Structures are given as structure tokens and as C-alpha cells.
Amino acid sequence: MHFAKTSVDGAMVIDPAPHADTRGRFMRAWCLKEFADQGIAFEPVQANMGLSTRRGTVRGMHFQEAPASEAKLVRCTRGAMFDVVLDLRLESPSYGAWHGVVLSGDNGRMLYLPEGCAHGYQTLEADTEMHYMTSAFYTPTTVRGVRFDDPAFGIVWPLAVTEISEQDSNWPPATCVPGHVASAPHLAV
């Protein structure tokens, strides 16, 4: 596995270094030791899968508050997606920054998101399937989000949005998320 830092402190793009031969390819999807060697203490407790049928679908930007804050390891298993990590940690040197990367079933690339960051993605192909592991269990009472198109962050999505859930289109702007972004003067809208 090859780990590359991003503009978000602690977030990493991971290339799995596949081994290919005449039968196809084999790659490691997760290794506790390799993550620990990079200083990442990530121990997944839950794995989830999602399928988006339409190209241009946006899901996000989601996070869980303490005590259920979670780190995530995201990969695309079929199709392609533009995956985004957004730093909402007030104490972080990269607070307010975001990083986007194309994950696809072909490239096998993964994105690691540390606790305190929001996650979202846009499908680049129809019938895109994603898989992610989390360090905390899904806890509905702690789920929060910020708008995918909040000008305070300026996330640049590669395609026009063709579909988004009612919940995701109704997340509040950054200035209304107590304890995460409301008090940041450089993010005032």
C-alpha cells in the first residue's frame, strides 16, 4: 500500500499496489499493521456499502458528533466517484480545508478520513457502488451534516448535481453548525 498525504491533516489517499497476472489482480483492502506504520490508529467496527444508480448523484456532507465520532476508510468497488473529505476540527491546522479524489473500481484507490471530518461524494458513472469501514458504530442521534454546496468551503464538484436526498439538500450552512464551524471567522458567509 502507498499512502499519500492530502491538504486535510491526517487524511490520506491510499493506493493498494495491486499484484496482477494472467488470472486478474489481487490487492490488500485493509491492513492494521500498514496503517499503524503510517501513524494511523484505525480499527474498524462496521462496514457499509452503497449504490447510486445515477451519474451526478451527490451524498453528503456527513459526520457523527462525539461520542460517536468516526474515522472512515472509503473505496469504490464499481463505477467511479469523486470522494471528498472536509475538515471540521476546530483545532486542526487544516480546519475548513477539503480534498477531493477520484476513486474507482478500476484504480482501487481509497480515502482515509480522520475523526472530526465530514464526508461526501459525487458519482461519476451510473451504477456506482462504494464500500466504507468506520471506527464507530452508526449512531443516528449523532449524525450531522453541512451543505455540499456551502460557499464557506467552496467544494468544486466535477458534474452538475442530478440527484441529492432531501436531508442532504437541507443541511444547514456552516455558520449554523455549533461547535464545528460557526465560530470560525475565516469561514463566515
Q: Give Cα 19 distance to the centre of its chain.
A: 26
What distances in angstroms separate CA 19 from CA 26, 38, 63, 109, 129, one per listed residue?
Answer: 5, 21, 34, 14, 22
**Which is the catalytic residue, given 62, 99, 119, 180?**
62
62 counts as catalytic: yes
99 counts as catalytic: no
Report CA dihedral (171, 172, 173, 178) to the nearest 10 degrees. -120
CA atoms within 13 A on the CB side of 65: 12
**Which is the catalytic residue, given 99, 121, 132, 180?**
132
Give strand pairing partners of 155: none
Distance CA 38, CA 107 (A): 21
Going by the DSSP 8-state scheme, the letter that residue 169 receives in this structure is H
The grid coordinates of residue 19 equal 499484484
Show which residues are catalytic: 62, 132
